[in-house]
């Protein structure tokens, strides 16, 4: 259980060897403390070496530093530098243990900067024009000279019910839900019906008429947050605000303070370039720009006139690329892997060069998430960004003889959960004017290797649903959900609400309710 007043994380909680990057001069610490969990500490204490020792960190990835930065928090990566591809170089198993995969995700000692709360988004909230227009008209009609505006009947009833049931209101404000999206609320662009039911209830269609805090935490990526929330709002038939929404690459906006010229990889068309621009990156290159400059760099690519016309070529033999950002799934493995490999063995990120010591001169590479599988509209989960990364690691090791050091964001990485805490507290302020982290947080997910293991290690209550990746028995054997396994998201959320608010809590609002009778008359279960 996650307590707002719980102790903050300390280096010793994870490993005595971890060296947290020092705060930059003048950099205020985050206002929120984050909960230590015994399982997280224990999980990473021995690294993933057979002898229980951490691997050498002599050639670890350089930690980005920005003395003038005031808008980011640096979270140390808690992974050994051994690459996931190591097991493939000697044993070509197609299904390595999920446990081993997550134990070797990040370069030990690297830092994952995340944005500091409050989140200063350049993206506006999702609104429904017809509803907003109706509210404006109603407001005009209710204006009476010298008199207060007329309140809608429901608002009066809700206020009275909440006054009468203040104890339940307090409990409702002390819980929050964190939803994975794909496989929990939707399958691609197709609604899971229980997803709409849940959001209707959490957005006020309940006994108290109260909005119960909830955010969305997905390893999905590839679009600007506003475009994704608008899409989700239409599918779920409920408003989804950008300020309660975290994609796998959302925390990577913090990296704009550390790197100037970056290669951004993945996604459809140029949508990830648009994402990077909104995050504040100054000089953004995508693979199409490089192919337009020199088509021979990708010998198997058929480059169309339309792609050439939309690209931004220049002489990349004179450009130093500071870092590689894989924001989303690659749409062209051959081209993207070739260009990334060229940069990883280059001299300080300059194409057309080969470094004398590619390890020490290697530029950093960041991945927005590490999921191997992702639920889609296809009946079986499809390979995701993690598969691309493992393939790249195998290529790099075969080419250089050393493991590729890299940093991976997304679930189940600690930085993603710290950032989620910041967003939950900020969203609590928006809903209820209380900028704090509720004590009872429930993670609803379908992937045991990311949603559940991350939530468990962070001290959240975890609920595993059977509408996505997980199709197993009573619970996942390696990463069991600590609150339970449920048929769908509705069953998970209502079970959590009953635990926190009582078995008598009703999951639908009724305008016939009579506050004089303590809000119980005609309430519908």
Domain ranges of the chain: 36-49+60-121+164-248+369-525, 250-368
pLDDT at 26: 37
Whether the pLDDT of residue 183 is over 80: the answer is yes
Which CATH number does 36-49+60-121+164-248+369-525 carry?
Answer: 3.40.50.1000
pLDDT at 93 (0 to 100)? 32
Q: For residue 458, give the 3-state DSSP assignment.
A: helix
Instruction: Kindly report, residue by residue over 466-483, the tens digit of the pLDDT.
Output: 999 898 889 999 999 999
Provide the 10 A C-beta neighbour count for residue 372.
Answer: 22
* pLDDT, mean of residues 376-396: 81
- CATH topology match: 36-49+60-121+164-248+369-525 vs 250-368: yes
Query: At residue 129, what are phi and psi to the nearest 5 degrees?
Result: -50, -45
pLDDT digits (tens, 9 = 90+) for 441-464: 999 999 998 899 989 989 999 999
pLDDT greater at residue 196 or residue 107: 196
Mean pLDDT of 497-513: 88
Supply the DSSP symbol for 182.
B
Highest mean pLDDT, choosing among 120-134, 150-164, 483-497: 483-497
Q: Give CA separation, 318 vs 271, 287, 348, 351, in Å.
A: 26, 16, 11, 8
Return the sign of the alpha-carbon dihedral for residues 483, 484, 489, 495. negative
The region that residue 331 occupies, defined by phi over 0 for left and psi between -120 and 50 for alpha, beta otherwise, is: alpha
pLDDT the model gives residue 45? 36
Q: Which residue has the higher pLDDT, 344 or 400?
A: 344
- Pairs from 493-496 (Cβ < 8 Å, separation ≥ 24): 493/177, 493/198, 493/201, 493/202, 493/442, 493/444, 495/463, 496/175, 496/177, 496/440, 496/442, 496/461, 496/463
* pLDDT for residue 252: 92
Beta strand pairing status for 111-115 and 72-76?
A: antiparallel
* Whether pLDDT at 198 is above 90: yes
Three-class SS of residue 386?
helix
Which residue in 184, 106, 102, 216 sits closest to 447, CA to CA?
184
Instruction: Give tens-digit pLDDT for 286-340.
Output: 999 999 999 889 888 888 888 888 899 999 999 999 999 998 888 887 899 999 9
For residue 108, how far is the Cα from the chain centroid?
21
CATH of range 250-368; options 3.40.50.1000, 3.40.50.2000, 3.40.50.300, 3.30.460.80: 3.40.50.1000
Q: Based on the number of CB atoms within 10 Å of its own CB, is 223 exposed (0-12), middle (13-18) or buried (19 or more)?
A: buried
Eight-state DSSP code of residue 474 = S
The reply to whether the predicted model has a pTM over 0.85 is no
pLDDT for 44 equals: 38
């Amino acid at each position: 259980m996650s307590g707002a007043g719980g102790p903050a994380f300390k280096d010793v909680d994870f490993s005595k060897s971890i060296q947290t990057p020092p705060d930059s001069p003048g950099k205020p610490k985050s206002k929120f403390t984050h909960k230590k969990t015994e399982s997280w500490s224990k999980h990473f204490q021995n690294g993933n070496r057979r002898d229980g020792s951490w691997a050498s960190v002599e050639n670890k990835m350089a930690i980005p530093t920005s003395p003038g930065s005031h808008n980011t928090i640096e979270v140390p990566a808690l992974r050994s530098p051994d690459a996931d591809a190591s097991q493939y170089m000697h044993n070509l198993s197609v299904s390595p243990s999920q446990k081993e995969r997550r134990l070797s995700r990040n370069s030990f000692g690297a830092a994952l900067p995340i944005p500091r709360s409050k989140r200063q988004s350049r993206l506006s909230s999702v609104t429904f024009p017809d509803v907003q227009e109706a509210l404006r008209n109603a407001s005009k009609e209710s204006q009476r000279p010298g008199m207060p505006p007329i309140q809608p009947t429901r608002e009066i009833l809700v206020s009275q019910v909440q006054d009468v049931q203040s104890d339940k209101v307090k409990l409702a404000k002390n819980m929050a839900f964190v939803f994975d999206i794909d496989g929990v609320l939707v399958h691609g662009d197709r609604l899971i019906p229980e997803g709409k039911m849940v959001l209707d209830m959490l957005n006020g269609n309940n006994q108290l008429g109260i909005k119960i805090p909830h955010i969305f935490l997905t390893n999905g990526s590839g679009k600007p947050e506003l475009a994704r929330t608008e899409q989700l709002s239409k599918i779920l038939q409920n408003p989804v605000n950008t300020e309660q929404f975290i994609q796998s690459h959302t925390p990577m906006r913090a990296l704009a303070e550390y790197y100037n010229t970056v290669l951004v990889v993945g996604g459809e068309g140029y949508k990830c370039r648009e994402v990077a621009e909104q995050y504040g990156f100054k000089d953004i290159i995508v693979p199409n720009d490089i192919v337009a400059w020199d088509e021979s760099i990708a010998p198997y690519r058929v480059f169309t006139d339309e792609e050439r016309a939309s690209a931004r070529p220049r002489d990349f033999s004179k450009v130093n690329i500071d870092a590689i950002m894989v924001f989303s799934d690659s749409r062209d493995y051959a081209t993207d892997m070739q260009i990334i490999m060229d940069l990883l063995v280059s001299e300080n990120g300059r194409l057309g060069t080969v470094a004398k010591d590619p390890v020490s001169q290697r530029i950093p590479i960041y991945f927005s998430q590490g999921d191997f599988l992702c639920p889609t509209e296809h009946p079986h989960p499809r390979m995701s960004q993690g598969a691309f990364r493992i393939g790249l690691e195998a290529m790099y090791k075969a080419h250089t003889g050393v493991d590729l050091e890299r940093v991976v964001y997304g679930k189940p990485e600690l930085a993603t959960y710290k950032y989620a805490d910041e967003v939950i507290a900020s969203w609590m302020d928006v809903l209820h004017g209380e900028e704090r982290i509720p004590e009872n947080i429930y993670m609803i997910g379908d992937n045991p290797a990311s949603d559940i293991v991350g939530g468990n290690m962070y001290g959240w209550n975890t609920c595993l649903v059977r509408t996505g990746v997980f199709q197993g028995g009573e619970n996942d054997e390696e990463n069991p959900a600590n609150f339970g396994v449920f048929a769908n998201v509705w069953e998970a959320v209502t079970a959590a609400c009953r635990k926190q608010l009582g078995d008598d809590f009703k999951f639908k609002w009724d305008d016939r309710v009579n506050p004089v009778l303590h809000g119980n008359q005609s309430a519908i279960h």
